[in-house]
């Protein structure tokens, strides 16, 4: 079973989010949560941590009567795409104005059951 969670318009640049997503891609869901909890970059990990928790909760809810735990899931896909930029102006030298681009991103995380992964390898 494959379940997705999407977090859109997050105030984190694509580069910074991608560096964090590389750490959890392909990992067990519980292991990925531990990696994010102990990551020393709080601003970068919070939107990704919330999205991962949402994906895990979606999977458990979608399983219904089947008892599914965090240990039974792994991060199948974790990607980030650029969102719209917030354009702000800052005073520059000699009376000029300089544009600051505050970047946003969309975070997509897909979790799947471990049994599904084993079937695909055979």
Q: pTM for the whole thing?
A: 0.87
What ranges do the domains of the chain cover? 2-121
Could you tell me the maximum CA-CA distance found in the chain, to the nearest angstrom?
A: 67
pLDDT of residue 67: 85
CA distance linking residue 80 with residue 28, whole number of Å: 19
110 closest CA partner among 88, 80, 77, 83:
77
- CATH tag for 2-121 (out of 1.10.10.10, 1.10.3210.10, 3.90.470.10, 3.40.50.920): 3.90.470.10
What is the helix, strand, coil percentage profile of the chain, to 5?
Answer: 45, 35, 20
Pair type for strands 86-91 and 2-10: unpaired
Mean pLDDT, 10 residues at a time, the chain of 122 residues: 95 94 95 94 89 96 87 96 97 96 97 77 62
């Amino acid at each position: 079973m494959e379940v997705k969670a999407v977090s859109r318009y997050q105030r984190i640049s694509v580069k910074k989010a991608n560096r964090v997503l590389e750490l959890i891609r392909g990992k067990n869901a519980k292991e990925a949560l531990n990696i994010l909890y102990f990551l020393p970059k709080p601003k970068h990990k919070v939107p990704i941590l919330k999205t991962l928790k949402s994906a895990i909760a979606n999977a458990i809810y979608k399983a219904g009567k089947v008892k599914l735990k965090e240990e039974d899931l792994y991060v199948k896909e974790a990607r980030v795409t650029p969102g719209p930029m917030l354009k702000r102006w800052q005073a520059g030298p000699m009376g000029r104005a300089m544009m600051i681009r505050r970047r946003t991103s969309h975070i997509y995380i897909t979790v799947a059951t471990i049994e599904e992964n084993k079937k695909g390898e055979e």
